[in-house]
Amino acid sequence: MRKNSGSSKQTQSKRKPAGSRSGSRRSSGASLTPAAKRERFVRNITALLAVIVLALAGIYLLIPSGTDQSIAARDSGRGVGESETPLPVPAEPRADESAGAAEESGSGYRDSGVTGAGKSAETPASGEPEGEAALPVKIRPKLVVVIDDVGYNVEGLKPFLEIPVPVTFAVLPRLDYSRETARLISDAGQELILHLPMESQNGQDPGPGTLRSNMSGDELLREIQGNAATVPGIIGMNNHMGSKGTEDRRIVREVLEYARRDSLFFLDSRTSPQTVVPEIARDMNMKILERDIFLDNSQDTGYIMEALEKGKAVARDQGHAILIGHVWTEELAEILLENYPFIMEEGFDFATLSSIIMKGE
């Protein structure tokens, strides 16, 4: 019996330390101050927030880039595939505001009743980024030099063929040197047109192949066809003299109808202020050209230089100027050959009639 009692005491003595440790933990927890508890709470919350932030960062990195569009569309209140609300379209300018912009003062290109081709604004290429304004393209004014009355001889033509800029040559038909001068002009790479003789007011004879008001329609057509056959390689026509012929509606219509059938352009030399060529061309919905300046009404060097200056002023104003001179003015060939580099340095280009009418400048 004592032995058992001793065992019981030993068992009880062994349990006391365990009981005392548990009590020690309770005693330690109970001994934390309120400040220490708050500090522990803050540390726990901070650790939890850090875990949440890291988790969100990991999720964001795992999102495919293709979903950016969906997110952006959702944030803006639209689903993917929905069309955007179109931007408001600016109102069209009133007719009275735009009418003047289509007109050119003086002569030049004419098309379907509109005096002048107008100047269209340069537009940026379709591949340019939106929102970036395109730099304006500065267009150099053009000088178009036309040399009339070619065909009487070859010698007078040669100095003009030495000018290394575009020049248009108008060759008279049915002359001894019509074909040869036409060939020389084509071989030089210059532009060739028919200088079509038309009846004058003062009775002066324009030469063989003249279109006269007493001719029938068939006679006019045969005369035009015969004239063109003697100047091979033409791409256009202009009138030689013709102060009476260009006032005759029947003659003008016959000429323009022939030009359109043969894909030729027509330059009105404007030898009469009462010319009906622009009016008939409008009725026919046909493009034509008109002379701006005569360069050599006088063969005086000072006169020619002044006429060139007037031509440059017209070109600055309307984009181009059509200047007519004559093959028998030797001074004109010399002035053009000596001065073309300086004219180009001033910001001008030389051009052909066809380039002007094709571009609608």
Question: In the chain, which ranges are E strands?
Answer: 110-111, 114-115, 142-150, 168-171, 191-198, 236-241, 265-268, 287-290, 293-294, 320-326, 349-351
Number of H helices, E strands in the chain: 12, 11
**pLDDT exceeds cutoff 50 at 274:** yes
DSSP secondary structure string, 221-240? HHHHHHHHHTSTT--EEEEE
pLDDT tens for 61-97 read 766 554 444 434 434 443 333 333 333 333 333 333 3
Q: Is the pLDDT of residue 335 over 70?
A: yes
Q: Return d(Cα 79, Cα 240) in angstroms, integer.
A: 71
Q: Which two tokens stand for residue 274?
A: 């009462």
- pLDDT over 80 at 180, yes or no: yes
pLDDT value at position 68?
45
Token output for 14: 């062994």
Q: What is the pLDDT of residues 218-245, one digit of tens each?
A: 999 999 999 999 999 999 999 999 999 9
Runs of H (alpha helix) within 65-194: 68-75, 95-98, 158-161, 178-187
pLDDT of residue 360: 66
Extents of the domains making up the chain:
35-77, 142-359
Architecture of domain 142-359: Alpha-Beta Barrel (3.20)
- For the question of whether the overall pTM of this predicted structure is more than 0.85, the answer is no
The CA-based angle 101-102-106, given to 5 degrees, is: 100
Measured between alpha carbons, how far is 199 from 214 in angstroms, rounded to an integer?
10
Residue 59 — pLDDT band, cuts 50, 70, 90? confident
Q: What mean pLDDT is predicted for residues 31-35? A: 67
- Reported in sequence order, the residue ranges of 8-130 that DSSP labels E, i.e. its strands, are 110-111, 114-115
